[in-house]
Amino acid sequence: MKKVEFDKEYLELVGNLPDSLEEYQFYLGLKERKIYFNDDIDTTIVNKIVYWIQEWNREDQELNIPVDKRKTIQIYVTSNGGDVVAGFSAIDAIKSSITKIETIGVGCCASMGALLLISGHLRKAYPNTVILIHDGSMSVQSTSKKAKNTMNFYDRLDDRIKKFVVENTSISEELYTEKEDEEWYMFANDEGLSLGIVHEIIS
């Protein structure tokens, strides 16, 4: 097996060898403005995606780099979904980024992972990337009144998800309503492309 030669700058920065090869690969990606996000979506997304988007935008602004000359940020998404509220923090950061952001679907982009893919200014995917869109799931253990408040909030959250998908793809409100109670699976090079979830297929 080939020996891994670790970047000297990395070793100086962290002071020791990485805990895993994945950690080191993530670091190497950052040097090229590439974020490899292959996780369930939770609050760590604020550090893994939101922070770096804000940092690279700040860097470009301080250097007075014209928008069309800025180095594109690429986010490779592999995710089975997760926390919708946390996911929307990443979506807000992506949508508000002045520096162009490409999202690239790899393997599976399910649930909140699919929304993360949809948020890119330019969206790409490999042909056999699986995309899943469905309604949210929840469980409530509380008093009757608090449970009703929670359910009301999640209804509003589902409405936001629907609005986001309809406004950022070719999926009509009628089609979304028809499919929203289903597990809506699709391949990137089929419905994913024809419905405007992705713009390009990587061949």
| Separation CA 1–CA 6 (nearest Å) | 15
Give 125-144 as a DSSP string.
E-TT-EEEE--------S-H
User: Which of 89, 97, 121, 134 is flagged as catalytic?
Assistant: 134
Is residue 171 a contact partner of residue 178, using CB atoms and an 8 Å limit?
no
Please confirm, yes or no, whether 139 is among the known catalytic residues. no
| Separation CA 121–CA 99 (nearest Å) | 10
User: Which of 96, 111, 121, 199 is flagged as catalytic?
Assistant: 111
Write the single-letter amino acid at 27: Y
How much of the chain is helix, strand and coil, in % rounded to 5? Answer: 50, 20, 35
Sorted by sequence, the CB contacts under 8 Å of residue 199 that are 6+ apart come out as 122, 123, 124, 193
Please confirm, yes or no, whether 134 is among the known catalytic residues. yes
Report the candidate in 63, 83, 75, 78 with the shortest Cα–Cα distance to residue 102: 75
Is residue 99 a contact partner of residue 72, using CB atoms and an 8 Å limit?
yes
130-133 and 200-201 as β-strands: parallel, antiparallel, unpaired? unpaired
Sorted by sequence, the CB contacts under 8 Å of residue 25 that are 6+ apart come out as 36
What positions carry a catalytic annotation? 111, 134
